Amino acid sequence: MELQGFRHIYSGKVRELYEPTDPNFSHLVLIVASDRVSAFDHVLEPEIPGKGENLTAMTNFWFDRLDVPNHRSGELEVPEAVAGRAMIAKRLEMYPVECVVRGYLSGSGWKEYQQFGTVCGIELPQGLGFGDKLPHPIFTPAFKAEQGEHDENITFEQTIELVGRKIAEELRDLSIGIFIKASQLAAKAGLILADTKFEFGNDPRTNLMTLGDEVLTPDSSRYWDRELWDQGVRDQSFDKQIVRNWLAQNWDQTGAPPTLPEEVVTLTAQKYSELRNKLITI
């Protein structure tokens, strides 16, 4: 897509990046969230209607409520052609660390806990079940891999080796602090924030650690319905888990993935929309 005043510079799995043609704004970038959906390192077809707009709205929702510097900029207007699913952002010097915070036992953490009693090497109390709340949120960083590669879980000591102790501690403390604040706000909408991941970078114009990328969306976070969780229903979430589950049952992960059926696309779109609608009640 051509956008007046911007030059396309990058296509990711689900995002498009543009830079302003005006050299006075070379410190900015336009991030467009598409409706594409990816799973198991593949972009799938068809797209999920409304996904890009819902993810952008949720990121903006959280940026408005978190007292942390973020990459959003008001120096330029988002082009009308992508309004609602794009934002003007500051270019950051990104840290190569996915800042994962877990408050509940699920996903890959559950698999590791069953085998070793740990999550990313962090020892946890015995006797926890799937979906149980952890005694306190834990920081389980990952090394951010190149496009097409898998992120790799790393220890806090390895994080220190990557970015230095001062930055590592700031990443950890900021991530856990944001997670706690977001969890408290999500609870007001009847939601549980089970886990999430953040990305930070240094803003070279202010030298401040700055929150970037999408934030607390269902593509970067696991949300549960509190009422269902209280009833013991733990295999539920407001994200593309429906897509993953269908693929796991209908594809052996060799060759090109199959086309998603209409009912899976519709249900996934409804999940994104439902979460957005719940959040805006806060």
Higher pLDDT, 198 or 234: 198
Q: For residue 162, tell me if it sits in a domain.
A: yes
How deeply is 73 buried, as exposed, middle or buried, from its count of CB atoms within 10 A (0-12, 13-18, 19+)? middle
Sheet holding 28-33, edge to edge: 6-11, 15-20, 28-33, 86-90
- Give me the count of residues in the chain: 282
Predicted local distance difference test score (pLDDT) of residue 41: 84
Q: Is the pLDDT of residue 158 over 70?
A: yes
Domain range enclosing 180: 93-230
In the predicted model, is pLDDT for residue 274 greater than 60?
Answer: yes
Are 19 and 74 in contact by the 8 Å Cβ rule? The answer is no
What pLDDT is recorded for position 40? 87
Tens of pLDDT along 102-123? Answer: 999 998 899 999 999 999 889 9
Domain count, the chain: 1
The answer to whether residue 81 sits within a structural domain is no
Give the end-to-end CA distance of the chain in Å, rounded to a whole number: 35
Nearest to 235 by CA among 243, 250, 225: 225
Both tokens of 87, joined, read 């934002």
Which region, left, alpha or beta, applies to residue 71 given φ > 0 means left and ψ of -120 to 50 means alpha?
alpha
Report the CATH number at residue 154: 3.30.470.20
pLDDT range class, residue 61, cuts 50, 70, 90: very high
Place 147 in a pLDDT band, splitting at 50, 70 and 90. Answer: low
Q: Is residue 179 part of a domain?
A: yes
Confidence category of residue 149, pLDDT binned at 50, 70, 90: low
The structure tokens listed for 248 are: 């796991």
Q: Over pLDDT 90: what percentage of the chain?
A: 89
Integer Cα distance of 228 and 43 in angstroms: 31
- The answer to the question of residue 131 being in a domain is yes
Q: Is residue 61 part of a domain?
A: no
Res. 200: pLDDT tops 90: yes
Q: What are the DSSP E strand ranges found in 160-220?
A: 191-203, 208-212
180 domain residue, yes or no: yes
Q: How far is CA 36 from CA 13, 57, 58, 199, 260, in A?
A: 7, 16, 17, 21, 12
Tokens describing residue 144 = 């951010």
Q: Is residue 198 part of a domain?
A: yes
94-98, 200-204, 233-237: least confidently modelled range: 233-237
Q: What does the alpha-carbon distance between residue 142 and residue 151 come to, in Å, rounded to a whole number? A: 6
The reply to whether the predicted model has a pTM over 0.85 is yes
Q: Is residue 132 part of a domain?
A: yes
User: How confident is the model at residue 144, as a pLDDT?
Assistant: 78
Residue 150: pLDDT band with limits 50, 70, 90: low
Label residue 188 by pLDDT band (50, 70, 90). Answer: very high
